[in-house]
Amino acid sequence: MARYSERRKPDTSRATTAVLAATLLLIAWGVFAFGSVYPWAYTPLAVGCADGQLHLFSLPDGKYVRTLAGHVSVADWATIGAFSGIHQFCRVGAHAFLGGYTVATQDVLPFSKTVGNRACNYGPNLVGLTRRGFEAESVRAIRQAFRVLLQSRLTTGQALERLDAEGPHTPEVRLLVDFIRSSERGVILKRGRSGDDEA
């Protein structure tokens, strides 16, 4: 019997062509059904999920797994990592980043880095904001707002009053404050314990 290395390998060109064709069909279906949102295989989008313009669902080794329960709202340019779960009626804010395996049972702040099973907030998503072309002044204002929310030892109400009174007064900070005020389930403000927090 021939050794394994000497055996003739099967011709996979037809299989590769079929996989490529199926992938293109899925992309076309995603654009048709969801605009520019690509909820790939193993991505349950339950009843009543409201979606914005573009979301990035990360890809772990060819598998596309994350679960959005019913009536989840995902805002524009949110990135949801692999194997993440989002509780029903929760919202994910604009430009938010949820790391892989994150379990979010409350609203995820806009512009935030949120990671963990019971999710923690690790400050602003600086890499995502930079990649999206945010001005340095806007990023500074977002960082300052996150410092007030996460590090000032104020209650959420007091922190919001301080942001209203003292600023920074930018559209991004206004979006952040309005998002927190309109939350019905509460927002994830539990601070992560990483030594390299960027907030």
Radius of gyration of the chain (CA): 21
Locate 24 and state its tokens.
């293109």
Kindly give the interhelix angle for 136-151 and 171-181, rounded to the nearest 10 degrees: 30
List b or e across 155-180, with b for residues whose CB sees 16 or more CB atoms inside 10 angstroms: eeeebbeebeeeebebebbebbbebb
**Spans of all domains in the chain:** 37-181
Structural contact between residues 199 and 146, judged by C-beta atoms closer than 8 angstroms: yes
- Whether the full predicted model's pTM is greater than 0.95, yes or no, is no
Q: Measure the CA–CA gap between 99 and 70, rounded to whole angstroms.
A: 20
Task: Give the phi and the psi of residue 68 in degrees, each rounded to 5.
Answer: -110, 115
End-to-end Cα separation, the chain, in angstroms: 64
- Per-residue confidence (pLDDT) for residue 81, from 0 to 100: 84
Q: Between these two residues, 76 and 20, which has the higher pLDDT value?
A: 76
Assign a CATH topology to domain 37-181.
Udp N-acetylglucosamine O-acyltransferase; Domain 2 (1.20.1180)
In sequence order, what are the residues at sequence separation of 6 or more whose Cβ sits closer than 8 angstroms to the Cβ of residue 175? 93, 94, 110
Asked whether the predicted pLDDT for residue 26 surpasses 60, the reply is: no
Q: Measure the CA–CA gap between 38 and 41, rounded to whole angstroms.
A: 9
Asked whether the predicted pLDDT for residue 14 surpasses 80, the reply is: no
Q: Measure the CA–CA gap between 29 and 22, rounded to whole angstroms.
A: 10
Asked whether the predicted pLDDT for residue 45 surpasses 50, the reply is: no
Ranking 29-38, 75-84, 115-124 by mean pLDDT, the lowest is 29-38
Q: Measure the CA–CA gap between 99 and 105, rounded to whole angstroms.
A: 14
Determine how many CB atoms are found less than 10 A away from the CB of residue 28: 10
- The pLDDT tens digits of the residues spanning 101-128 come to 899 999 999 999 999 988 999 999 999 9
Q: Between these two residues, 73 and 121, which has the higher pLDDT value?
A: 121
Q: Between these two residues, 173 and 20, which has the higher pLDDT value?
A: 173
